[in-house]
Structure 1
Amino acid sequence: MIERIETGIAPSSAPVNDAIKAGKQVWLVAIAEDPASGEIVSGGIAEQTRRTIQNLQIAVEAAGGSLANIVQVQVFLTDSADAKGMNAVYADFFKQPFPVRATVVVKELLAEGLKVEMLATAVLD
């Protein structure tokens, strides 16, 4: 059984979900979008990474878990020079054992000014 998790972040006008649950697994996606305004947060990679992970946190908590339940993260960056700044913020949120992670540099992301996007998988207790 597949269940859409309502987080209040993904735009209802687009054919997307930011969290889907199937059994004890939850698939999540997050960008640096302010949930209140729907706008991409201003600032550099640190601010965008922080908001992105906070959005992952909102989504996984809506599914009944926490960041500690995340076992895998895929990070998409638009600039390889941002990896160090992203890692610094990432380490503030994720602790040992860290989720398995892949980081990929892409030409661009869908929203203008967006520097980072994350896909994650969580396994609930």
Structure 2
Amino acid sequence: MIERIETGIAPSSAPISDAVRAGKHVWLVAIAEDPETGAIVEGGIEAQARRCIENLKIGVTAAGGTLANLVMVQIFLTDSVDAAGMNAVYREYFTQQPFPVRATVVVKELLAKGLRIEITAQAVLD
């Protein structure tokens, strides 16, 4: 059985979930959207990466876990130049082994205007 995790971030008008659980497994997606205003955050890749990871944290917490429960992270960037800034922020949140497995992909563009990063992740809960 698949259960939608309510985070308050995904727009209710869109046919999407930003977190779902099936048994012990949770799948998450996050963009650099301020959960209070719905606006894409400004301030460069560091600000957008931080907001994405904070949104992931909201989702995994709502499912009953923490960022330490993430086993796989997939990062989509619109510019390879942003990798260094994204990595600096990523290191602030993921400081202890075992780190999640991670893939970083550069794409032509993301759906929302001004969006430079999107992150998907999978978690396993105890």
Q: TM-score, normalised by structure 1?
A: 0.99
Separation (CA, whole Å) in 2 of partners of 1:33 and 1:76: 15
Separation (CA, whole Å) in 2 of partners of 1:66 and 1:84: 25
Separation (CA, whole Å) in 2 of partners of 1:23 and 1:100: 21
Q: Which residue identity does 1:109 align to in structure 2? A: L
Q: Which runs of 5+ in 2 are unaligned?
A: none
Residue of structure 1 equivalent to 2:91? 91
Q: Which runs of 5+ in 1 are unaligned?
A: none
Aligned-pair Cα RMSD in Å: 0.4
Residue of structure 2 equivalent to 1:112? 113
Separation (CA, whole Å) in 1 of partners of 2:58 and 2:7: 7
Please report how far the alpha carbon of residue 90 of structure 1 lies from its aligned counterpart in structure 2 after TM superposition: 0.3
Please report how far the alpha carbon of residue 97 of structure 1 lies from its aligned counterpart in structure 2 after TM superposition: 1.4
Please report how far the alpha carbon of residue 103 of structure 1 lies from its aligned counterpart in structure 2 after TM superposition: 0.2
Correspondence 1:9 to 2:9: yes
The correspondence of residues 1-125 of structure 1 with structure 2, limited to 5 A, is 1-95=1-95, 96-125=97-126
Q: Which residue identity does 2:115 align to in structure 1? A: L
Q: Could you report, residue by residue, the CA deviation over 1:5-57 in whole angstroms, capped at 9, with x for unpaired residues? A: 00000000000000000000000000000000000001100000000000000
Please report how far the alpha carbon of residue 94 of structure 1 lies from its aligned counterpart in structure 2 after TM superposition: 1.0
Q: Which residue identity does 2:83 align to in structure 1? A: A
- Provide runs of 4+ in structure 1 moved above 4 Å: none
Separation (CA, whole Å) in 2 of partners of 1:59 and 1:44: 23
Q: TM-score, normalised by structure 2?
A: 0.98
Q: Number of aligned pairs? A: 125
SS in 2 for 1:49: helix
Separation (CA, whole Å) in 2 of partners of 1:32 and 1:98: 22
